[in-house]
Structure 1
């Protein structure tokens, strides 16, 4: 009954002449006889859809097509998943026990009497306490909110833009579109206008000798009405009046009753009047007090209520039976869901900006949250939950300082919040202990070689297990691989607008900026040195062939071993990983082991390397039959010996040259001294 009064209180608050579409959803954590999740979609005061977690199907009040079923089921399934996740978070937030907990959501929109969209409203409550409240004005594009249980220190710009974009571009358009569609279907019900029947009644109170006056308006629709009691032309104070709630009749109309009790000593010749102001009336309706009403049968009101209740019960039983039959007929209908998996990989000449984030639950010497920002393979920034700021690898231009701080708050605070909230869900989902648990995320964007934005991608893992993959491509399509909790249509729309309007613009902007700053590092091209090496395996008599490409940058390279012109199967090859060198370049090695009996077949082996910075591919050929397996080692030894010989020769020549020069200088000095001595003797 309390829920019904709450519902009617809201519906009454909607402006006269307008229409609303509201979702009333309840998620129950704990053992009850009710479904874990139930949802009712109300057009004004008419229930148009029912959905619960038992059937996972939308049940329409009137006939619908299969596409409507799929869309509604997907959206309601998203709300179910969202409320389930939020319940886990709120239980953890409040340190709740494992008893019964209830999370409620009321969300919807309004269409004004001029057919213009009105407000979009959302309220959340957990165990009877408000947790979130949002109001979005589509005309002014403003948003008001009340968040008593905000997850972090206030709402940052990311959260603000996040919610605003969702309401403006996802929730509100879908809600208004659905509202107009249901208005067309149910126009004979929700747009009808029925005038009220108004009665002014009085009853003597035998115990006190006073008088009770009641004004009753009943049988009206829609529910917008003002009912006022007057005494001698002046409105009676509300604190003297009881009642005033709008209550439903059994025929789909409404009633309102207001009652005034007059003490015996206050009885006089006062004139009482009841005024009803109703949308469907051209002017107000006044019902004055009539002495003949004293003879009225006051039991008629109770009788009408009893009849209304009986009719309501009959209709409810009829609807339930019809609903059960309808659901049984539809139970055999197959449903289908599709998911797509991205097969995208970066192109060789593109550049990427990736955030590698880690969220840790448990006692460690590391921050709870940390993220490394990588431009291609160069670390350009670091962020953690200790400083809540980005530490840059190189000094930054001061004119971008505020903008970059804002971008960091948008991206990293949102990443921290979502990973923290997801951890609570994972804790419940897999029932893990309170030990150490790690959630990881790689997220970022790419700039293609034509300077066009590439896909925006994200990968998630929990305790080393992949839990999700997300791709937003250049055609603004969403591809997902969600292992725990598949996404529905609403979540996809949600993420699409976030990626299109927030994540990708910020990522591409930062990527281009850092490319300019780091162009000498990440845009340089260094050709590889490629060698094909052989080694005899003394234990088996076979031969090991290795192809090594080293000293190249960037890291995009294809290295292939061929046997008689045909690529060797990868399962016969070891290695192939790209590894870093100490000078910032890379190397790749692929190795093939040839058995002794295969050597007799005298195959020709070559190593083919395709590299972005080369005009064409580079082939290095080895003829096993003519080659000396130890030649590689011998050539290295010989090269070292030659180098040492040349070095010794150069050093010896230098020493001899310096000695000769010293002797020549000494000789010249002695000659000069001799000349001076001879000259002085002659004098």
Structure 2
């Protein structure tokens, strides 16, 4: 089962020549410190509209989105209704229904719906989709071919049958998913063409935590998200020794991805046979990064280099404290307890710590000069 995060980032990933419009509606129950309802519109994996139902706030993420709403005022009316009028109430009712079907009495629960479409600007093909996720798992999805709901949860069969009987509602969903949403998507692409159809190449780095860790090839800052990142050996793509990461969004609207290579069995002589290759849709030239030790970035430091100065300082401090303790004991045996012994003891302790601190600073400066 996919989690809600995977549902948000990965479902219906666009392929070359295709564009996507997705609406995410999220309702929470049992969590008073968080908004009960939020929604978002995403075009080609770019957030374009965000809504906070509790604040009744709709935020447009790009200037060109305003042109879309100006061209179709009804568009904005539907956003308002979906953000803080109809949908919040409907979602809380749906959560109550799901809790009843799953025999849940309390606790924190999350309901998310993803609605939208894909449009192929080359063939004109349109695919609509609508599905629900509940508490991190797939719960219900609409099959537009049969015009019925499907569910992997046996407890949700009663809800599925009831929803199947609402034929007019299903017809309305289908009309929006296959007619209205594609029209909106085409407007978004038309007005946001310079932003949505741009190309940005990434920076590619080789990273490694420790000398025995896998070498990670990280590509970040690329757009669009239709890209691939692979490790090759002698020009052939590797599959067994690698671990592919997912494509993730950056805060600036670009994307990042990584792929790890297990180098534990790679001999030093064979390193030159490996390279990491990044490919971006629409760009003919690949970015090739050779597997070379001097290209690998790491903040790893040998344990001996980190512990040696500290160990020496600890030893000196321990010896000094032992000497101080001996002096105090000696004083107590030779001098009668008076008020004068307290200042003497305090002074000796202060002097001890000053000497220890001075040694530590001196040791660090000395090691730094050696390193340089």
Aligned mates of 2:58, 2:227 — CA distance in 1 = 32
The correspondence for 1:560, drawn from 219, 230, 242, is 230
Say which SS state the counterpart of residue 176 (structure 2) adopts: helix
Shift of 1:409: 5.8
Higher helix share: 2
Say which SS state the counterpart of residue 256 (structure 2) adopts: strand
Q: Deviations over 1:449-505 (max 9, x none)?
A: 327253222232222232123354xxx565864123344695596565223323432
Shift of 1:349: 3.8
Say which SS state the counterpart of residue 525 (structure 1) adopts: coil
The correspondence for 1:371, drawn from 39, 42, 46, is 39
The correspondence for 2:246, drawn from 574, 577, 601, is 577
8 Å contact from structure 1 (residues 443, 458) kept in 2: yes
Aligned mates of 1:437, 1:448 — CA distance in 2 = 36
8 Å contact from structure 1 (residues 453, 508) kept in 2: no
The correspondence for 2:283, drawn from 594, 610, 614, is 614
The correspondence for 1:630, drawn from 294, 299, 304, is 294
Aligned to 1:21: none
Shift of 1:553: 0.7
Aligned to 1:507: 181
Aligned to 1:527: 201
Shift of 1:385: 3.7
Taking structure 1 as the reference length, the TM-score comes to 0.36
Aligned to 1:428: 100
Q: CA 1:480/1:528 → structure 2, altered by over 3 Å: closer, same or farther?
A: farther
Q: Map 1:109-258; keep pairs closer than 5 Å.
A: none
Shift of 1:394: 4.9
Larger Rg: 1
Aligned to 1:483: 152
Gaps of 5+ in 2: 1-10, 299-372
Aligned mates of 1:387, 1:613 — CA distance in 2 = 41
- The answer on 1:592 being equivalent to 2:266 is no
8 Å contact from structure 2 (residues 148, 164) kept in 1: no
User: Matched residue pairs, number?
Assistant: 278
Q: Deviations over 1:179-198 (max 9, x none)?
A: xxxxxxxxxxxxxxxxxxxx
Gaps of 5+ in 1: 1-342, 635-683
- The answer on 1:407 being equivalent to 2:89 is no
Taking structure 2 as the reference length, the TM-score comes to 0.61
Say which SS state the counterpart of residue 79 (structure 2) adopts: helix
8 Å contact from structure 1 (residues 349, 612) kept in 2: no
RMSD: 3.7
Q: Map 1:305-320; keep pairs closer than 5 Å.
A: none
Higher strand share: 1
Shift of 1:521: 1.8
The correspondence for 1:355, drawn from 23, 29, 45, is 23
- The answer on 1:517 being equivalent to 2:173 is no
Q: Map 1:57-136; keep pairs closer than 5 Å.
A: none
Q: Deviations over 1:553-596 (max 9, x none)?
A: 111111111234443336x434523234454322222121211x
Aligned to 1:79: none
8 Å contact from structure 2 (residues 204, 289) kept in 1: no
8 Å contact from structure 1 (residues 456, 471) kept in 2: no
8 Å contact from structure 2 (residues 129, 177) kept in 1: no
Aligned to 1:605: 274
Q: Which has the higher contact order (CA 8 A, sep 6+)?
A: 2
Shift of 1:516: 2.7
Aligned mates of 1:356, 1:431 — CA distance in 2 = 26
